[in-house]
Structure formats: C-alpha cells, structure tokens
Amino acid sequence: MTSDLQDLLQRALGSAYRIDREIGVGGMSTVFAAVETSLNRHVAIKVLQPELAAELSTDRFAREVRLAASLQQANIVPLLSAGEAGGFSYYTMPLVEGSSLRALEASGVPIPPHEAISILKDVARALAYAHHAGIVHRDIKPDNILLSGGTAVVSDFGIAKAMDIARATGSADYTLTSPGSSLGTPSYMAPEQAAGGVVDHRTDLYALAAIAYRALTGQPPFAGGEIAETLYKVVHTRPRRPSLLADVPPELDLVLAIGMAKNPAQRFATAAELAEALEGVFSGTLPEGVFERGRSLEHGGAWASPPRASTTRLRR
C-alpha cells in the first residue's frame, strides 16, 4: 500500500520532487524523504491521510501554513511549502537527519537528567519564540521533537491550527478521540484541550511538562487502553507522583505539579520559566517562588499518590 502511495504521489508531483523512501506513518500523515529537484534540497514531504484531507479546504490549509512558515528560529523546523497535487494534500519541511524523542524513549528507561534537560531547554526555546510571535503549537509530543547533532528541534508548528481552520464543513466525523487528531495527542494534551476548551500558549506548556514527566520517569503521566480512556484521565484524574516512579529529586514533584496544573492559570507563565525550574531541580537551585507554588498545588491534590516518607522534607 505504501509503495502504491509513493508511486501515486510521485506521479502527482511530477519532476518537482524525487521521492526516495517512506520514513514514517502516523494518524495524521505519511512522511516521505525526497529531493526538491530545483534546489537539490533534501526535504520531508508529509502527505495528509485521505480521511483527514477530505474535510479540509486546501486553500485555507495552505494559507495557514504560509503564516506558520514565517517562524525562523534555530530550534524550529521551518515549513517550506504546502499544496495539493493529484488529490493529495501535503506540506514540506527540511529533512532532519537523526532520531526523535519518541525513539529515545522507546526503551521505557528514564533519560539521564542532563540529557533530558538539554532537550527540554531546546524545546522551550522554540516554544518561547513561537509564543512571542502569537503561534501555539497545539500538538507538542515526542514524535515532533527531533534530535540531530546534539540539538533538539520541533516540527509541525502551525499544522494543528491550520487543520482546525481549514476544516471545510465540519461534517466529517473526525473528533477529539480520533488518533492523530489535529487537536492534539491524548497523552500530552492539557485538560482544557481534551475537554474542547480554549487553547493558548499554556496548553503547550502543559505538554512540555508532560513530556518532561515521561522523559525523566520513563512513564507517561496518563495512558489508557482506548484514546477516550486517556482523555478522561487527563481531565478527571491525577497522575502518580514522579518521585515514586524514578530516582529523581522530590523537587521534580513540585515543578511538574505547576507545569501540569489542571487550571492553566496555575501553570508557569512561559516556557523559559518551566525550563529554568526543571534545570533547578537537578542543580539544587529552584527559582524563587517555585517551592511555595508547588507545595500549594500538592496540598490541593496535584498527585494521586502521597510523597515517600523520605521526601517529606525538601531542599529549599
């Protein structure tokens, strides 16, 4: 099937691109490595899944992608183009040689703190830049965090918003519980996003905190057999205390209690604040106010499990 799709797409794109191979399949798109022939430039072509593309206005989608393409920052994979050919809706970006955070996490073993913090700081830089420009990612997840040359870069900025705006009629049955929905990925969705509420930059901050939880403990904060079950847990339940899952400082409980607060107003205000607090966990220098804020949220029931007896007294 993939070979057939590659052949059909190659014929539709003609000589503009030379498609080399498939490099990934997800709920939202199939990704191919290709060469943009006019510039001899290696690119990734993401072809939207047919059931998703069918409900989009191609013109609106392309227009929103052009807006997102204005983001130019070292930790952001830029969008190059978007279009439609032969019934295929697609967009392109530079091909990043390397792996992804998802592949790094695949073993289920926590990532060494110094390595995880370096990755999270890179993602925070990307988010800070995009948020300053008024663009919210909406689907921060390990798959969209690419690792190359010792640097983490974030892909697919603007795609989720572009898909939401470009939905032509709303008649297609493509909802929050659909795998790969442009509205987000369940394990990393903020409660307000899972409940269909207002999305802003604090939604991305929640996702970054949830990714930190997974990277530093080896387990996602929420997981269920069905997507709807995971979404229910995100909205209505509390995750386990991070320090009970891995050998991490108890201060991580405080930082992630703020980063993953159910109420967006209780989270960190910026990605830079969250990254600074995460770094402070392992350097023993929590930023001012984090201890008190985290403690307050813990007393309010941030976690489903109490602290270990040995961690009831934290460094300040």
Q: Is 139 a catalytic residue?
A: yes
DSSP secondary structure string, 133-148? TT---S---GGGEEEE
Q: What is the dihedral of CA 229, 189, 69, 15, to 10 degrees?
A: -20
How far is the C-alpha of 28 from the C-alpha of 53, rounded, in Å? 9
Instruction: Sheet containing 41-48: give its strands across.
Output: 17-25, 29-36, 41-48, 88-94, 81-85
- Rounded to an integer, what distance in angstroms lies between the CA atom of residue 116 and that of residue 217? 11
Structural element, H or E, at residue 275 = helix 271-283
Return the residue matching tokens 């023993």. Answer: 284
Q: Which of 4, 20, 122, 139 is catalytic?
A: 139
SS3 label, residue 48: strand
Judged by phi (left if over 0) then psi (alpha if -120 to 50, else beta), residue 87 lies in left
Number of neighbouring beta carbons within 10 Å of residue 164? 15
Active site residues: 139
